[in-house]
Amino acid sequence: MFGALVGDLIGSVHEFAGTKRKDFSPLIHPAARFTDDSVLTCAVAEALLAGERAEAIARRFKRWGNRYPRCGFSAQFREWLWSSSLLPFGSFGNGAAMRVSPAALLARTADEALALAQATAEVTHDHPEGIRGAQAAALATFLALRGEPAQVIRRTVAEQSGYDLSRSVDEIRPAYRFDGTCQGSVPQALVCALEALDFEDAIRNAISLGGDADTLAAIAGAVAEARFGIPQQVARQVEAMMPADMREVMSDLYARAGRALPWAQGNMGTATFDPR
């Protein structure tokens, strides 16, 4: 979903900065860019739209990854990307969760969202923690798309995943450090989205943890879009920065789901825009 791309782009300049404040300015920095989070989210969207599974998804990842080889892939993923292997490599990194939001948008039931999340995760991240992270992020987004209140999403995802979602952002932030694992970033990102007052607040919550900022904001951004929509001024600014292939995939994804594009005229979202 586009909220993941927005969060990724906004978070990109904060990834190793250790930002521990919400009032950073500007919201969208001139140096912001799309990273591997957006590239692989688009790959997942394209694969699911084509009805692909297993090795076909892996090939889709390789095509997109080789199109954007310098967008911030981890060393482990790069090694797989440039190899001849289509086998998973046992990862429990948060890459499984950062790219999963199209599964939530296309799923018709919660069980289908969980199944699609597993299918998109296990082609690379076949460790149980990698699958758990992808499923938790997809389920939270799916439930938010159906208008479930934050407390219901928090309880349902905690029961399904076993994650502790009871802490607040203010409780998490002081001791939190960069953590690229699913178990060390997905619960925190979900709290950022579920505690938020609007879309921008979710993104600022995620970045303020001072961790893997682009991925935290990508996961939170997908859930926050489902809860609040995206302010059109933000959506249109980010859309203008998108490569044509990403724009095309997002357009196809929203058309298949029967939803208006976030940057389309008249789709204002429900969140506020702070131009700081």
Average pLDDT for 132-145:
98
Distance CA 222, CA 218 (A): 6
Structurally, at CATH architecture level, domain 2-257 sits in Orthogonal Bundle (1.10)
Beta bridge partners of 73: none
Task: Report the alpha-carbon angle 76-77-79, nearest 5.
Answer: 65
pLDDT given for residue 153 in this prediction: 98
Distance CA 73, CA 70 (A): 7
By 3-state DSSP, what share of the chain in percent is helix, strand and coil, each rounded to 5? 60, 0, 40
Residue 162 has pLDDT above 70, yes or no: yes
pLDDT given for residue 230 in this prediction: 98
pLDDT given for residue 274 in this prediction: 30
Average pLDDT for 109-138:
98
What does the block give as tokens for 197?
A: 């007052």
Residue 174: which residues within 8 A CB-CB, separation 6 or more? none
User: For residue 268, what pLDDT band results from cuts at 50, 70 and 90?
Assistant: very low
**DSSP conformation class of 33:** -
Residue 260 has pLDDT above 70, yes or no: yes
Domains in the chain: boundaries: 2-257
Share of the chain above pLDDT 70, in %: 96
Average pLDDT for 137-141:
98
What does the block give as tokens for 223?
A: 């859930």
pLDDT given for residue 267 in this prediction: 58
Q: Which residues of 164-177 are buried (b: 16+ CB within 10 A; e: fewer)?
A: ebeeebeebbeebe
Average pLDDT for 114-132:
98
pLDDT digits (tens, 9 = 90+) for 201-243: 999 999 999 999 999 999 999 999 999 999 999 999 999 999 9
DSSP string, 186-224: HHHHHHHHHH-SSHHHHHHHHHTT-SSHHHHHHHHHHHH
Average pLDDT for 66-93:
96
pLDDT given for residue 266 in this prediction: 60
Residue 81 has pLDDT above 60, yes or no: yes
Share of the chain above pLDDT 90, in %: 95
Task: Report the alpha-carbon angle 147-153-156, nearest 5.
Answer: 130
pLDDT digits (tens, 9 = 90+) for 30-60: 999 999 999 999 999 999 999 999 999 999 9
Q: What are phi and psi of 91, to 5 degrees?
A: -75, 145
Residue 265 has pLDDT above 70, yes or no: no
pLDDT digits (tens, 9 = 90+) for 12-36: 999 999 999 999 999 999 999 999 9
pLDDT given for residue 276 in this prediction: 23
The per-residue pLDDT of the chain, averaged, comes to 95
